[in-house]
Amino acid sequence: MSFASVNPATEETIEEFDELTESEREEKIRRSAETFRTWRTVPIEHRAECMHRAARQLRGNVDTFARAMTLEMGKTITQARAEVEKCAWVCEYYANSAPNILRSEVQPSDASESYVRFDPLGPVLAVMPWNFPFWQVFRFAAPALMAGNTALLKHASNVPRCALLIEGVFRAAEFPEGCFQTLLIPSSAVAAVIDHPAVAAATLTGSEHAGSQVAARAGQRLKKTVLELGGSDPFIVLEDADVHAAAATGATARMINTGQSCIAAKRFILHEAVADRFLDRFLDALRAMNIGDPLEEDTDVGPMAREDLLLELDAQIRRSVEMGAELLLGGRRLDRPGVYYPPTVVDHVRPGMPMYDEETFGPAAAIIRVPDEEEALRIANDTSFGLGASLWTADLARAKRMAERIEAGSVFINGLVKSDPRLPFGGIKRSGFGRELSHYGIKEFVNIKTVWTA
């Protein structure tokens, strides 16, 4: 089997890569375990030096890495450059903060001395998605490596070049051989890696199905997992909101990465008093977006990453309209080469429709009108997902009260949902469990060890 880099803007194959043989895969896992035994003993200050070098490698090669992302999965070049910069940021954040976060904590007890250590677990398998092909990996790798673990990356099959470039970043940053390795393997081989006695834990960002499969396999082997899965994030606009700002931000929040983001705003829950005004501005903002070649600097919306993703989104939209929703914008594949779907808005979405019940992973917004705050909260929570939420109101006390009741891993008041190395990131319900980023994320893959002395 081979892995192909296919440019979604042209649907042309760029390059193909061979799958690892079973013996090659075994050798990489063995090397990861062997490196772990020495890497865990390296002073954290030295690990930080390596991580700072990784940040410099990213910034020094930003155009190369950004172009690779754009060519493999269609991300606009400006967003790709920003992604590389964010990866450098997370490397620097953990290089600077991990020594303090992981410092042993003295805890009073009946002992003459008692404290808590944070020790690494071992090789960690990361199963990562294509939509943010650098960021998703670095937000795992930076804390895992700084904690003293080693990393094995099974990346999405459509971004093999990105996967190998990331491995190259850590090699160029002078991490020991075996600290970070890419495994070019199919999804069918993931279970064997989880089963391997040398692999200590696993993390996955991706679909519900993939997450449940990894969690089940790891659970059978009693291995720790962290899952960041799908989202159907509500974007709530109340009657006292700044409608102009909400609509402008909402357009960005829905169309970033051509709508292919787990934390993109997907269900727009609008108070009836401002719904029409919001939509006027929202539609204008979407119509003004430039759809085109993602390598061009002025492109706002590029192609979707794969043909099957476009077809799935189109089917969700068509079924919702057939069931009574109203198509306001878009809704038809663009007649041009490449995997292009335009910004799409569907109004009067109701329960039972795919755009209400399912995650829509692409440039399509579902509009749901509500009469009051209570109904807005009910609908926001009427989903199997719980990743992020955006809430718009001029009354901050009201917003904070509502934030307590919204079932999500994060609530952003008068802003779009985003990730930040300083803040924990993750979800509840079918959006997964565990946290990445901040001090919470680095402690997911450590042994929180009590030491007690008589």
Buried/exposed 140-163: b ≥16 CB within 10 Å, e otherwise: bbbbbbbbbbbbbbbbbbbbbbbb
Task: Find the radius of gyration of the CA atoms of the chain.
Answer: 23
258 confidence band (pLDDT: 50, 70, 90): very high
Residue of 72, 83, 167, 228 marked catalytic = 228
pLDDT (mean) for 219-248 = 98
- 280-330: pLDDT as tens digits: 999 999 999 999 999 999 999 999 999 999 999 999 999 999 999 999 999
SS3 294: coil
DSSP bridge partners of 411: 389
Indicate if 404 belongs to the active site: no
pLDDT (mean) for 370-389 = 98
Q: Which residues, 6+ apart, have CB-to-CB distance to 267 below 8 Å?
A: 232, 233, 234, 235, 349, 356, 366, 368, 379, 380, 383
The DSSP line for 339-392 is S----EEEES--TTSHHHHS---SSEEEEEEESSHHHHHHHHH-SS--SEEEEE
What is the structure's pLDDT at 2?
87
Indicate if 50 belongs to the active site: no
Residue of 87, 91, 179, 262 marked catalytic = 262
pTM of the model: 0.97
Buried/exposed 62-82: b ≥16 CB within 10 Å, e otherwise: beebbebbbbbbbbbbbbbbe
pLDDT > 90? residue 387 = yes
pLDDT (mean) for 394-408 = 98
243 confidence band (pLDDT: 50, 70, 90): very high
**H runs (alpha helix) in 158-274:** 160-172, 190-195, 208-220, 243-255
User: Domains in the chain, start-ordered, CATH in brackets?
Assistant: 2-229+428-453 (3.40.605.10), 233-413 (3.40.309.10)
pLDDT > 90? residue 1 = no
What is the structure's pLDDT at 368?
98
pLDDT > 90? residue 4 = yes
SS3 204: strand
pLDDT (mean) for 141-145 = 98
